[in-house]
Chain A
Amino acid sequence: MSPEIEVDAAGSAPFEAPSSGGALPVASGSPFTMLPGDAGAMVCEGDVCFVPGLSVE
């Protein structure tokens, strides 16, 4: 199970570049062309879920 740590969704329009600090949650060297979409979309990593690029508690 994963909680969300940061719930302040950015609410940006689809395909907008991520807001400041909105690093894509994929390591460099990815074979994929990343489509940023909504920078506020939540992902889960380990025990936590968060908005990529925003600080976690």
Chain B
Amino acid sequence: MPGAPDAFDSIVTSPIKTSPIKIDIWSDIACPWCYIGKRHFEEGLASLGEDAPDVEIEYHSFELSPDTPLDFEGSTVEYLAERKGMPVERVEQMLDHVTGVAAKAGLDYHFEKVAHTKTLKAHELLHFAKAHGKQLELKERLLKAYFVEGGRVNRIDELVGFAVDTGLDADAAREALESGRYAADVQADIAQAGAYGINGVPFFVFEGKYGVSGAQPAEVFGQVLTQVAGERDGAAA
């Protein structure tokens, strides 16, 4: 093709580049430790500075509690006390502890605002966002909406608003949610988790090979990234 760069020349003259490390993360919206783990992962990656490898992150759907009512009108304390039969004081202690850990991660949790609901529609929107290159932005937006702002992450009108916040098209987002176009993708993610034996979240998979479970400290994620990058670079040498 006239004027087109020669493919061979481009290979010879371009600097050697390694592909980004692929990280698949199973996570739910209604999961306090998923948000904390997300922050820890980001801190671990940032802590590597110039040595930080390029990464490609993909979030996968996981529904922690399928029997959650679509709209629970009570408080978090009531929700947990009723469902687990735990004393209110004990629930309050636990929430205070999680709030404290979140604060150390830079997250301003407000459990008194949390609106308990099913998260499947939010997961559908995450798949829509992935198809439009905005999944990471939307994941952050939804977690913030749920734990910080008390957003209703099951209601289409609110979800469309969160989508718009991340630069997605409102009409397209609404159509995707109303049609349920991504519902099968959500179920496929959940089924894949089951096939992998993933029982709890957050769950991180590096390069389709290494599994890391839980909201690990930032230094753990930094070490894992260093290890995986080292193995990859060693294999490429």
Contact = CB atoms under 8 A, between A and B. Distances in A.
Interface of A: 1-5, 7, 14-15, 24-35, 37-38, 41-49, 52, 57
Nearest to B40: A41
A26 B196 contact: yes
B94 A1 contact: no
Contacts of B95: 3
* Residue in B200, B210, B223 whose Cβ sees the most chain A Cβ within 10 Å: B200
B94 A41 contact: no
A32 B209 contact: yes
* Residue in A25, A29, A35, A47 whose Cβ sees the most chain B Cβ within 10 Å: A35
A46 B201 contact: no
Nearest to A31: B196
Contacts of B114: 1
A37 B216 contact: yes
Contacts of A52: 200, 213-214
Interface in B184-226: 196-203, 205, 209-217, 219-220, 223-224
B30 interface: yes
Per DSSP, are chain A's interface residues mostly helix, strand or loop, or mixed? loop
Nearest to B146: A1
Contact of B215 (A30, A33, A43): A43
Nearest to B227: A35
B65 A42 contact: no
Nearest to B111: A1
Nearest to B27: A44
A15 to B, nearest CB: 6
Contacts of B84: 3, 47-48
Per DSSP, are chain B's interface residues mostly helix, strand or loop, or mixed? mixed
A4 B200 contact: no
A5 to B, nearest CB: 8
B83 interface: yes
Contact of A41 (B31, B32, B196, B213): B213
B214 A25 contact: yes
A1 B224 contact: no
Nearest to A24: B213
B202 A26 contact: no
B162 to A, nearest CB: 18
Closest 7 CB pairs of A and B: A27-B197, A41-B214, A32-B211, A43-B200, A37-B220, A45-B200, A14-B220
Contact of A37 (B68, B76, B80, B224): B224
Given A38-B217, A43-B213, A52-B214, A32 B33 contact: no
A25 B76 contact: no
